[in-house]
A and B are shown apart, each in its own frame.
Chain A
Amino acid sequence: MQAATPIPTDVSYLEYKGKYKGIFSWIFSTDHKRIALLYLYSMMVMFLVGVLLGLAMKLELIAPGKTIMEAKDYNAVFTVHGVIMIFMIVVPGLPAVFGNFLLPIMIGAKDVAFPKLNLLSWYIYVLGALLVIASVLFGNGTPDTGWTFYAPYSFKTGTNLLPAIFGAFVLGFSSILTGLNFIVTIHRMRAPGMTWTKMPLFPWTLYGTGWIQLLATPVVGITLVLVSLERIFGIGVFDPALGGDPILYQHLFWIYSHPAVYIMILPAMGAISEIIPTFAQKHVFGYRAIVASTLAIAFVGYFVWGHHMFTAGMSGTAQYTFSLLTFLVAIPSAIKVFNWISTMHQGSIRLETPFYWAASFIFVFMIGGLSGLVLGSLATDVYVHDTAFVVAHFHFIVFGGVGFAFFGAIHYWFPKMFGRMYDKGLANTGWIVFFIGFLALYAPMFYLGMKGMPRRYYDYLPEFHAANILSTLGSWVMAFGLVIILINLFRSAKHGPKADKNPWNGKTLEWTVPSPPPVENFAETPVYGEKDGPYEYQ
């Protein structure tokens, strides 16, 4: 690219200035590593907003009746919380931050295939986020439909919904471009000798994710366009008064949004599949099975969307089919859990912070997955659908799964990204406090849902009081854990002791370059020989 002045190989990406100065050297940079940090910081801001909204909901639910907000405020809060967390954090999260930072390095490339497009994706992401924020700040009334924007309420409500829907659309576009970029990068830029079966598992999951992003996101895109047009012009496709069918909206929405849960979880599984072999110092067990299950999840995940609509009205045949397919999709996830545990078996385990996060990931992911089976079987779902049980299920998976993997990943790759090490004692304290808070926050919701407490209400019957208090207390403990984690990381990024190239004795390519890596990653392109591989521990 900038062929005029050769790029030095001994200056780290954090110090290299390039053409621009100050903040411009970041927001105009096409370096995948800088873009990754741009995503990291913008997501962190949105994440904190989302967390505060979550804490507000929990505070409201500490006692029956009105505590701190009116019913309609509660509706607005859970909507904005959901839109932020789903569309801005867990969907783009691991690919945009760790995928961007590590994919090129892990496959031995200098950058992604389309660096400018990569930067453009970040701008599109910011635009989407601003649109959602605009829907909160302007207009009359914050959106109150829930993150699912169900018809017909989404075009009947008087609140300022259009910018939020458009924001979700724009965020989807950003996600498509990232996926596209990664697929092409993986096809074209792997180091010489790195065959498909020698590619590390994190890039593999990014590859699967890329395909889902590409094939599923346009469907929700057009669906969101249609509700917007319905709202502006009244075209009729989802409006029963004009001959349309609101259930069709739900189908189209979940055709994307179920695969989207795999957009979230696959890269998380990929990160875990990197962390565990490193801290067990052992070749990952069943590499091919993990790859195959990644692709199987990506594929079968397209055909199970109906399990979100068992009670919305569908034929018995459709119900049985969707239920059966939902059970099938649990199998590849179980295969992965089996492989992770077998990797640890007889390994020389090093109990470091990333390993704690990975181990607790497996624990919460299993609870989340097993509760998914309760929801996937017809008899039980009819009973717990739209209760706190569903909220517990997806928080165990989306927050417990994706969130824990994210924290595991940041503690694992932090020395690589910033060239410094964090305080391990504080990091472990943050983890255990967070973990305990998490369990106290969400586990009671399984019980509450079983007992019949519906989701998305600001009030509840007196008999649900005790469990709700426990849950709210849990939210405080978890928030405290989060504060410890963040302070530790922020401080260490500036002042932590210098980390060397390979602090964990990892075997993938990112550990062969300096910490932090130079601008073009490798002084010379690495080559994989016959015997080389990503997990060759002795």
Chain B
Amino acid sequence: MEHTVHQTHDHYDPEASKIGMWLFIFTELLLFGGLFVIYSVYRFLNPEAFHLAAEELNRAIGTINTIILLVSSATIAMATSAIQKNNKRQTLLLMLVTVLLALTFLVNKYFEWGAKFGHGIFPGSEHMIQTMSKGEILFFGLYFIMTGLHALHIIIGMAFIIFVMVLTARGKIHSERFALLENSGLYWHLVDVIWIFLFPLFYLIH
């Protein structure tokens, strides 16, 4: 070795945590990627049944939920710029709005699923086995798995944002150190993007 340099004890490296978050987002995309592959295969094999089944979904709720998520992505992005200006109040407010929007999404989803259950449409239902073709059963099976897994990600995203809110309120996150807030935003955009794919696949395509 030629010479040596001195290193500080502080390990904070925002670049590293951002790379880490992007890599994690990659894995999430692949997780859903597997499901998209399955969806494509079965749609290709049962075009008519998928068409029929899609008619049953409530497009109005779907559209409203899409708008909700798009707005929430905007608010979390605004929170990231607010923290850079060291505007703590505004940051917290924007994050709170994001969380409330996410909650609204889940409430809508609850009523949507509830209505389906009321019509005897749920995994393993006798009603489905007796009245539907195999393609339709598959459609609804995939619908529940994919939107369910997505809803789980909404919940995880909410928990993440609330955690970051607590840290922000305590002054641990500020204009000099906000990688975690940025990462929660990145994660939230991911959740949003996945929905942007789910929405047309289940509600719109004919």
Contact = CB atoms under 8 A, between A and B. Distances in A.
Interface of A: 1, 3, 6, 110-111, 113-115, 117, 176, 180-181, 183-184, 187-189, 192, 214-215, 217-219, 221-223, 225-226, 229, 233-237, 242-245, 248, 252, 512, 524-529, 532
Contacts of B32: 222
A249 to B, nearest CB: 10
| Interface of B, helix, strand, loop or mixed by DSSP | helix
Interface string B7-18: 101110101110
Given A234-B124, A243-B137, A525-B6, A114 B20 contact: yes
Contacts of B4: 524-527
B123 A176 contact: no
A176 B27 contact: yes
B123 A233 contact: yes
A218 B34 contact: yes
A219 B135 contact: no
A3 B9 contact: yes
B1 interface: yes
Nearest to B41: A248
Interface in B1-47: 1-7, 9-11, 13, 15-17, 19-20, 23-24, 26-28, 30-35, 37-38, 41-42, 46
A219 B30 contact: yes
Contact of B1 (A217, A252, A532): A532
Given A221-B31, A222-B31, A183 B23 contact: yes
B123 A529 contact: no
B142 interface: yes
B34 A243 contact: no
A529 B1 CA distance: 6
B178 interface: no
A110 B9 CA distance: 10
Contact of A525 (B7, B15, B138, B142): B7
Contacts of B23: 180, 183-184, 214
A235 B41 contact: no
B34 A184 contact: no
B27 A214 contact: yes
B145 interface: yes
B144 interface: yes
A526 B1 contact: yes
Nearest to B18: A184
Interface in B131-164: 133-135, 137-138, 141-142, 144-145, 149
A176 B28 CA distance: 11
A234 B145 CA distance: 11
A248 B38 contact: yes
Contact of A218 (B16, B31, B144): B31
Contacts of A245: 41
Chain B: interface size category: 35 or more
Contacts of B42: 237, 243-244
B6 A237 contact: no
A408 B9 CA distance: 35
Nearest to A177: B24
A73 to B, nearest CB: 32
Contacts of B38: 226, 237, 248, 252
**4 closest A-B pairs (Cβ-Cβ)?**
A243-B134, A235-B141, A233-B123, A529-B2
Contact of A215 (B20, B30, B124): B30
Contacts of B5: 192, 524-525, 527
Given A180-B23, A184-B23, A242 B138 contact: yes
14 contacts: A113-B20, A114-B16, A188-B19, A214-B27, A218-B30, A219-B34, A242-B134, A242-B137, A243-B137, A243-B138, A252-B37, A512-B1, A525-B6, A529-B1
Given A242-B141, A243-B46, A528-B1, A1 B9 contact: yes
B138 A237 contact: yes
Given A188-B16, A218-B31, A235 B123 contact: yes
Contacts of A218: 27-28, 30-31, 33-34
A156 B141 CA distance: 18
Contacts of A3: 9-10
Q: Give the one of A183, A223, A237, A512 with max B CB within 10 A.
A: A237
Contacts of A229: 123, 145
Nearest to A252: B34
Contacts of A214: 23, 26-27
Interface in B24-78: 24, 26-28, 30-35, 37-38, 41-42, 46
Given A184-B16, A188-B16, A188-B19, A532 B2 contact: yes
A189 B13 CA distance: 10
B141 A237 contact: yes
Contacts of B31: 218-219, 221-222
B84 to A, nearest CB: 22
Nearest to B2: A529
Given A113-B13, A180-B23, A235-B145, A222 B35 contact: yes
A235 B20 contact: no
A245 B34 CA distance: 15
A1 B12 CA distance: 9
Contacts of A528: 1
Contacts of B138: 236-237, 242-244
A179 to B, nearest CB: 8
A183 B22 CA distance: 12
Contacts of A217: 27
A527 B5 CA distance: 7
Contacts of A222: 31-32, 34-35
A187 B46 CA distance: 46
Contacts of B6: 524-525
